[in-house]
Structure 1
């Protein structure tokens, strides 16, 4: 979630470490040769089909998690920059290394002029992850400038109907990027490894008959900004053996009333860490507010922190599942 732009949206990137997926961004991985696409490639992007006659050579990604997807596929040498990171968050060490040679073209959402000025031929973004419905930068507004757009799958709910979020949404983006850039086999291998790692982990996870009730607290005090049934944390929580108390909230990232949170009485609160308000401050706000005193998670001080990049679609989602499962059940 960048600070998502319903209320705006933002989040962090990184690379999985540990397990069979120790994906270190070495110079060799980042500069691996791209397979030339012999034929045009067409991929689905939300409600569109987008055709690429050749792999993009001057790509721009928005937000940390989308940028990390590009990097983990070894596509840095096909990028001319990235946008939408420093305006909301600070890069961790791994991310700084990954983008060391790339310029940040815009601290927040880019304008058309920014993308045109960079001679971009590809923009990887999402709705409320670098684009706004009816905004200045959309697939339609960039078409006259020969800048093709691939939209983050999780974000498609903002422009039409979509199935409930699953881990497949993240896999789908990696596979489509692999096809677009001619690194399809690398993407397939990566996704296969992710699926295997998650499957092996879930086999050893002792899930209770009644999954823990979990609330995602992104930001906001008057009204909390949270994850509904279309936002990635719902899939991560379910994979970890819990259930999002806002699973029936027919939104992606959006605000709800605190009354609904109190009524549904979460047993665990997942804090999304990014921005000017720290995770510790968010926890303190809930613990010190008398209105939340009877919430099980508050009474038992059961809070777990996910970095923005773990809570939004991207390579760190598998580690996020493990982190939550450990916090939920000590697995």
Structure 2
């Protein structure tokens, strides 16, 4: 059957860009179907937003939300032309008021069975398709724990699949393949350099934030994204919980005495420990943490919080960690 496309779409996309459409993608237990590339997308999450910017899709973005860090400098011009709906969690109404043809999100806890923004069915009732990055739902139960529990180790291929699927949804498959190739090359280079350092007993803990500095911190679990990064580089995660970001007492962490402490730097301010300077002050003044080898020897690595999520900044994080590991080499 011959498809008759609206003239506006024919003007926006060359024939090659429309080759994948109509497009159907199996996504987090649901089916996402797009008759044509969407002309207006809302992105809830910095990872999805920066992937879209890297694909050159900013001219078709109707809004963004949920930011942990300032936008990457190379995407500053693109971001300047896209409305910021909310720095943190947007409301359902604020998203649908942008009249999106597609909503994408990095976290199922944003849009899912218990979504704080809404459930997929709510968007479907309005004819709005929703896409969740597979990085947050593949082999993961998001109904257990504050940020979900991993049922298997994070698989980097789910990130590459996210890039591919988002690119094809936007009618930009070629750009998606080029972006994947660049990311794979960066991953391989960082891993090769880190493995060449020969640090057989190096270990780490990754501190994201804390509800209060006086309580147990949120640290990276054994099967999530930061744990994958550490494993790739030959660092052992001292935290063994399957939860994505469990709370673990400093006494337990101090007993493990990791070689390196990785802390998140973010512009978000939900908790006092979102401020990385507050983290540093705590580590150096608390009677337990101040005695840890990594604190005494200043082996503290500061990474953007977004580098600890599945997205483009993961690769910046791999490279920064590799650089820090070089300082541990004898």
TM-score normalised over the length of structure 1: 0.81
Which deviates more, 64-73 or 259-268?
259-268
Pick one of 258, 261, 269 that aligns with 1:269.
Answer: 261
1:253 matches 2:233: no
1:323 matches 2:315: no
Pick one of 170, 173, 181 that aligns with 1:192.
Answer: 181
* Native 8 Å contact 1:84 1:130 kept in 2: no
Pick one of 216, 224, 230 that aligns with 1:231.
Answer: 224
| Structure 1 consecutive aligned stretches of length 4 or more whose deviation exceeds 6 Å | 31-34
Return the alpha-carbon distance in structure 2 between the equivalents of residues 296 and 244 of structure 1. 16
Q: How many residues align?
A: 298
Instruction: Please report how far the alpha carbon of residue 128 of structure 1 lies from its aligned counterpart in structure 2 after TM superposition.
Output: 5.9
- Mark the runs of 5 or more structure 2 residues left unpaired by the alignment: 1-11, 144-149
Report Cα offsets for 1:49-99 as digits up to 9, x if no partner: 3222222221011122221011101111221111123xx654464443221
Instruction: Please report how far the alpha carbon of residue 211 of structure 1 lies from its aligned counterpart in structure 2 after TM superposition.
Output: 4.3
Instruction: Please report how far the alpha carbon of residue 145 of structure 1 lies from its aligned counterpart in structure 2 after TM superposition.
Output: 0.9
Instruction: Please report how far the alpha carbon of residue 328 of structure 1 lies from its aligned counterpart in structure 2 after TM superposition.
Output: 1.4
1:288 matches 2:281: no
Instruction: Please report how far the alpha carbon of residue 100 of structure 1 lies from its aligned counterpart in structure 2 after TM superposition.
Output: 0.8
Pick one of 98, 120, 134 that aligns with 1:139.
Answer: 120
Pick one of 145, 150, 160 that aligns with 2:131.
Answer: 150
Instruction: Please report how far the alpha carbon of residue 314 of structure 1 lies from its aligned counterpart in structure 2 after TM superposition.
Output: 1.5
Report Cα offsets for 1:212-237 as digits up to 9, x if no partner: 21101111121101211343211222
Pick one of 137, 142, 148 that aligns with 1:159.
Answer: 142
- Mark the runs of 5 or more structure 1 residues left unpaired by the alignment: 1-30
1:217 matches 2:207: yes
SS of the residue 2:311 aligns to: coil
Pick one of 43, 58, 71 that aligns with 2:40.
Answer: 58
Higher relative contact order (CA 8 A, sep 6+): 1
TM-score normalised over the length of structure 2: 0.81
Alignment CA distance shift 1:98-1:260 (3 Å) = farther
